[in-house]
Amino acid sequence: MAGERLCIDGFTEISAVCTHPSFTGRGFAMQLIAHVTNKNINEVSLPFLHFVSSNSRAGKIYELLGYSKIRTIEFSQLSFNHLG
């Protein structure tokens, strides 16, 4: 599956790209991303996406489809102990 999430001023985020683990490596994710990318370009909306840097497979697919890295964003995970 693949979808769109955020749409702002001529930009559309491609989101929720995933395939069932039994079908990994068959090119389905690439076909989905290409389809949504082409749809957006035909609608004169520039597609963009993001992924976790540890997901090298996703990065490779996006690169093969012509996407390029614009920036890296660092995230931190916080946890709190509830004292009650």
Q: Per residue in 12-53, pLDDT tens?
A: 999 999 999 999 999 999 999 999 999 999 999 999 999 998
CA–CA distance, 13 with 76 (Å, rounded to integer): 22
Asked whether residue 37 is assigned to any structural domain, the reply reads yes
Specify if 71 maps to a domain. Answer: no
In a domain, 32, yes or no: yes
Does a structural domain hold residue 54? Answer: yes
Q: Is there a domain that residue 18 lies in? A: yes
Q: How many domains does the chain have?
A: 1
Q: Does the residue 11 lie in any domain?
A: yes
> Is 79 within the bounds of a domain?
no
Domain that holds residue 46: 3-64
Q: How far is CA 11 from CA 19, 46, 61, in A?
A: 24, 5, 20
Distance between first and last Cα of the chain: 42
For the entire predicted model, the pTM comes to 0.80
> Would you state the pLDDT for residue 84?
61
